[in-house]
Structure 1
Amino acid sequence: MTIGELNWTVLGTAALVLVAVAAVRLSTRAGLPTLLLYLGLGLLIGEAGLGLDFDDAAVTQAAGLFLLAVILAEGGLTTRWETVRPVLGLATVLATGGVVVSVAVTAAVAHLALGVDLRTAVLLGAVVSSTDAAAVFSVLRRLPVRARTRAALEAESGLNDPLVVILVTVVVSPSWEEAEPLLLAGQVLYQLVVGAALGLVVARAGGWVLRRSALPSAGLYPIATLAIALLAFAVAGVAGASSFLAVYVAGLWLGNAELPHRTATIGFTEALAWLAQISLFVLLGLLASPSRLPEALVPALVVGGGLLLVARPLSVLVSATPFRVPWREQVFVSWAGLRGAVPIVLTTIPLSVGLEAATQVFDVVFLLVVVFTLLQAPTLPWLARRLGVVEDAAPSDVDVDSAPLEGLGADLVQFRVPRGSRLNGVTVQELRLPGDTVVSLVVREGRSVVPGPATPLRTGDDLLLVVREADRDAVTRRLRAVSRGGRLAGWRRPDDEPAAP
């Protein structure tokens, strides 16, 4: 590549990213996932638009799986364990048993209504039965939906990818007709259990090292944290386990482990996740051929209709009823099962191995994602209000950031008093912080104050604490307890004290 070609490539890439960033505002106003606009950008610069010819399914598959790993890592890092823990059982059943029900029903609809062979029908059912983390995160985090409902949907979208990846891999393999159900079930169990275990082991080991390292630059901590999550992805893949589950579990643990410079890490991974979404959806749009899409419209409507109106509601009913989830929440969870990048990326697997019906499956799934995202996403706010699953915005929890002080056996801890927090009005001595913790500085309205024991805290204050390394977790728990329960937290009721990560 010459210098001139490099300049034009950088110019085009930078312009594309800036247009994609500007498109976020448009999609937010319209209540649509940004994936639709990014897919449109891919089509615009593809063979039917600016003429960029791209049809490498193998490259798209490899890049797509890696970019999905980045998105899942960010989803885990930004998810609070105390929110997910109460719904983990429900989310797990939705991501396993619910997926099996959805695959079976969707495959039956495709086989009976479209007349496709059983292999193609099962492939269609498996590909579209996984909800998409990027689409779910981008839509639900803008809606004031009940924390339990939102957490169940987000956890499901992070956990259901491994099963469908396994199913798609088996369907496209030469041994499809000889596959034994018990052997397949054992393979699924191995991938899920070992993938989750490896993700947890890698995250805990990496977190242990990070907590005891004083790196020369704060910017190295976010890079190291994301690298640990992606290391879990790779280790699980080498072990033949579920890479997607490993990276999500690793991100979930790291995001709740109070690692150094957590705030900077979250900002860094969110930025990379946005870049991953832009790259992924533009790449998938490039792979699509607009000239083939019209003939795939009717099959997409049939398969999507069966999925949305029959398969998804039935899978939610079977999965959620044992957990006594009210019917209103079941209806919302059913309608909010958005599809996005994951189904389209999965269609590149049969494309890369040259399966006979692969092109038809890709076109049907591509249109299904576009059409049904346009139908579901804009109606979610209205449906949430009608079903009564919205709630008033809760006060923000205390977001504690820390950095190790090399050689002192201590950490520098920083946090801000959030709006609605019961820390407002509490004096420094009433915090009753563990050990020899020192509140060294309070920044209020741009002015720095060295606080005394009787100095009251105010909403918006930034506090700087010096904490012994051994007391850091206890200090974090105490700050969050006082934020929720006030100065008497821990005396009035024990559940003011949240569990350790």
Structure 2
Amino acid sequence: MKFRPSGGTFRAATRERVRPLTVHQLNELLLVCSIVLLIAVAAVRVSSRSGLPSLLVYLGIGVAIGQDGIGVRFDDAGLTQIIGYAALVVILAEGGLSTPWREIKPALPLAAVLSTVGVAVSVGITAAAAHHLVGLEWRQAFIIGAVVSSTDAAAVFSVLRRVPLPPRLTGALEAESGFNDAPVVILVVAFSTAGPVDSWHWLLSKIILELAIGAAVGCATGWLGAYGLRHVALPASGLYPIAVMAIAVLAYAGGALAHGSGFLAVYVASLILGNAKLPHWPATRGFAEGVGWIAQIGMFVLLGLLVTPHELGDDILPAVVVGLVLTMVARPVSVLVSTAPFRTPWPERVLLSWAGLRGAVPIVLATIPMVYEVDASRDIFNIVFLLVIVYTLVQGPTLPWLAKRLRLGPAETAADLGIESAPLERLRGHLLSVSVPEGSRMHGVEVGELRLPAGSAVTLVVRDGKSFVPAPTTVLRHGDELLVVATDPVRDAAERRLRAVAEGGKLAGWLGTGGNGPANRR
């Protein structure tokens, strides 16, 4: 009889301690969140002009709201880790969706070596410095070495896309940031649960197995998702972006539940989806970019809240020392070792060494030892936080200057052609909405000179707000919007031809720019 009253008392006490969110509290929360989002959006303009990654501004907002600022107290490392993982999934998905395969394909072998062998070299050198120069125990030293050896996808995607670099370098750095999260997470968890692993061959085999499972799940999910979206006409264009992001998240969850690398799975799946020429792609790309910004803002602000600035004083010198060794020794050595088989030119090696940007990923990973209650885990978090702040301030703004000094700029190319596809399931055809941007070599080409494959035709042109049905002699201009109808069998061929003309002009096919050659002329 005594058991039931005690149980009821416990439940009553629980209800008193954890009261549901009221409507008034919800209104206050929405007000604060909307103000923070607006401030963060406005801060992007400031960060883009200064060359600093926006993550610093977002972290600053979190610190300003936190305990030493407005006074919001937040110290839940476990919740921060969970939200950070979720945000990282979205960021990796957006990065994969927006990475052209033609840029990343030549860089895949180098990126794979940088994210495995390069990470191992960086971890060893950084851990040795943390032990011998800073005085940390080997366990904590290896944790810091693993945490800071991962380049940050959000920082790389946001900074490198504003820096004019050759596609092979941009592809290598973006692919590295997408790949290296997986082995680093495995290392940090292993060191946090059992300290330095004596059985290195066991750890190596585990990393290889998880990467293989993650890659397989990502490939399968991405291919099946792209196939389904290309062959099933959804009733509303707004459903395609939702479906694409859902498939990307499915890849992460499937890879993680299969005891593989969910981070690698989501990046690979998103990379496949992003290059699959899906219907309504511009809308999907815009939606993914918006969700990615929200994920970055939320993650960085939350990480800023977790920091207590008045506790950072004793960790400034260790952070500077570890960061100096990481930036000037560990990263360059890892790049030299990783690029040795590829005969990479020295200017590119220098840039790869300096462009190893750190950001939210190391800070999120630094919450893992806090969750596992590793000794001095708070000091590890503070050192990593300060290291990211200091060296992002140094590396971010100087990267464009270094690229210019090394004379590493992209070759002049024609502007890419914007094509949006909408499937017509009942008619077994597709509507291609084509934009002719400034710089496109489609300017000055007659409609008849497009030489589209049989089964496709330009049916409408919108120019200066007016639409008309073009004649074969109609000359296309910058700013035109074309509506191209293509039957299902020739849809891909029509898009290839349009892109070839946009790149090579009316002589595409004879200039090695692809598309239909003389044999396929209509």
TM bracket, shorter-chain basis: over 0.9
Residue 157 of structure 1 is aligned with which of 177, 182, 197?
177
**Equivalent position of 1:24 in the other structure:** 44
Show CA shifts across 1:382-408 (max 9, x none). Answer: 111111112366332112210111311
- Give secondary structure in 2 for the equivalent of 1:168: helix
- The answer to whether the 8 Å contact 2:53/2:155 transfers is yes
Residue 224 of structure 2 is aligned with which of 194, 202, 205?
205
**Equivalent position of 1:224 in the other structure:** 243
The answer to whether structure 1 residue 46 and structure 2 residue 66 are counterparts is yes
Deviation at 1:31, TM superposition (A): 0.7
Show CA shifts across 1:144-173 (max 9, x none). Answer: 122222221111111111010111111112
CA distance in 2 between counterparts of 1:297 and 1:181 reads 32
Residue 113 of structure 1 is aligned with which of 130, 133, 154?
133
- The answer to whether the 8 Å contact 1:395/1:418 transfers is no
The answer to whether structure 1 residue 147 and structure 2 residue 167 are counterparts is yes
- Give secondary structure in 2 for the equivalent of 1:302: helix
**Equivalent position of 1:418 in the other structure:** 437
- The answer to whether the 8 Å contact 1:61/1:345 transfers is yes
CA distance in 2 between counterparts of 1:184 and 1:30 reads 42
**Equivalent position of 1:101 in the other structure:** 121
Deviation at 1:289, TM superposition (A): 1.1
List gaps (5 residues or longer) in structure 2: 1-20, 518-522
**Equivalent position of 2:10 in the other structure:** none
Say how many residue pairs are matched: 497
The answer to whether structure 1 residue 312 and structure 2 residue 331 are counterparts is yes
**Equivalent position of 2:53 in the other structure:** 33
Deviation at 1:287, TM superposition (A): 0.7
- The answer to whether the 8 Å contact 1:484/1:496 transfers is no
Show CA shifts across 1:41-61 (max 9, x none). Answer: 101111111111111111111
**Equivalent position of 1:445 in the other structure:** 464
CA distance in 1 between counterparts of 2:262 and 2:330 reads 27
CA distance in 2 between counterparts of 1:307 and 1:436 reads 58
CA distance in 2 between counterparts of 1:417 and 1:35 reads 34
CA distance in 2 between counterparts of 1:446 and 1:155 reads 41
Deviation at 1:25, TM superposition (A): 0.6
**Equivalent position of 2:278 in the other structure:** 259
Which amino acid in structure 2 is aligned with residue 57 of structure 1?
A
**Equivalent position of 2:486 in the other structure:** 467
User: 1:10-409 counterparts in 2 under 5 A?
Assistant: 10-174=30-194, 176=195, 179-391=198-410, 394-409=413-428
CA distance in 1 between counterparts of 2:516 and 2:145 reads 45
Deviation at 1:496, TM superposition (A): 6.4
- Give secondary structure in 2 for the equivalent of 1:79: coil
Distance 1:470 1:88, change over 3 A: same
- The answer to whether the 8 Å contact 1:414/1:463 transfers is yes
List gaps (5 residues or longer) in structure 1: none
- The answer to whether the 8 Å contact 2:417/2:437 transfers is yes
Show CA shifts across 1:400-430 (max 9, x none). Answer: 2101113111111111112222211222222
Which amino acid in structure 2 is aligned with residue 56 of structure 1?
D
Deviation at 1:465, TM superposition (A): 1.0
Which amino acid in structure 2 is aligned with residue 379 of structure 1?
T
What do you get for the CA RMSD once the two structures are aligned? 1.5
Deviation at 1:177, TM superposition (A): 5.3
CA distance in 1 between counterparts of 2:339 and 2:197 reads 33
- The answer to whether the 8 Å contact 2:457/2:484 transfers is yes
The answer to whether structure 1 residue 3 and structure 2 residue 23 are counterparts is yes
Deviation at 1:179, TM superposition (A): 4.5
Show CA shifts across 1:98-142 (max 9, x none). Answer: 111111111111111112111111111000001101111111111
CA distance in 2 between counterparts of 1:10 and 1:330 reads 47
Show CA shifts across 1:316-343 (max 9, x none). Answer: 1111232121111111111111100100
- The answer to whether the 8 Å contact 2:447/2:470 transfers is yes
CA distance in 1 between counterparts of 2:516 and 2:309 reads 56
Deviation at 1:497, TM superposition (A): 7.8
Distance 1:376 1:494, change over 3 A: closer
Residue 474 of structure 2 is aligned with which of 455, 458, 462?
455
CA distance in 1 between counterparts of 2:314 and 2:415 reads 49
- The answer to whether the 8 Å contact 1:137/1:154 transfers is yes
Which amino acid in structure 1 is aligned with residue 323 of structure 2?
G
Show CA shifts across 1:65-110 (max 9, x none). Answer: 1100100000000010001111111111111111111111111111
Deviation at 1:257, TM superposition (A): 0.3
CA distance in 1 between counterparts of 2:183 and 2:306 reads 25
- The answer to whether the 8 Å contact 1:73/1:248 transfers is yes
Deviation at 1:492, TM superposition (A): 3.8
CA distance in 1 between counterparts of 2:25 and 2:201 reads 54
CA distance in 2 between counterparts of 1:15 and 1:177 reads 44
CA distance in 1 between counterparts of 2:503 and 2:513 reads 12
Distance 1:29 1:493, change over 3 A: closer
TM-score, normalised to structure 1's length?
A: 0.97
- The answer to whether the 8 Å contact 2:126/2:145 transfers is yes
CA distance in 1 between counterparts of 2:255 and 2:420 reads 30
Which amino acid in structure 1 is aligned with residue 327 of structure 2?
L
Which amino acid in structure 2 is aligned with residue 9 of structure 1?
L
- Give secondary structure in 1 for the equivalent of 2:174: helix
Deviation at 1:470, TM superposition (A): 2.2
CA distance in 2 between counterparts of 1:352 and 1:138 reads 29
**Equivalent position of 1:428 in the other structure:** 447
- Give secondary structure in 2 for the equivalent of 1:423: coil
- Give secondary structure in 2 for the equivalent of 1:17: helix
Which amino acid in structure 2 is aligned with residue 229 of structure 1?
A
Q: Judge which range, 254-263 or 313-322, deviates more.
A: 313-322
Show CA shifts across 1:234-268 (max 9, x none). Answer: 00000011111111111111010000100000000
Bigger CA radius of gyration: 2
Which amino acid in structure 2 is aligned with residue 202 of structure 1?
T
Q: Judge which range, 337-346 or 446-455, deviates more.
A: 446-455
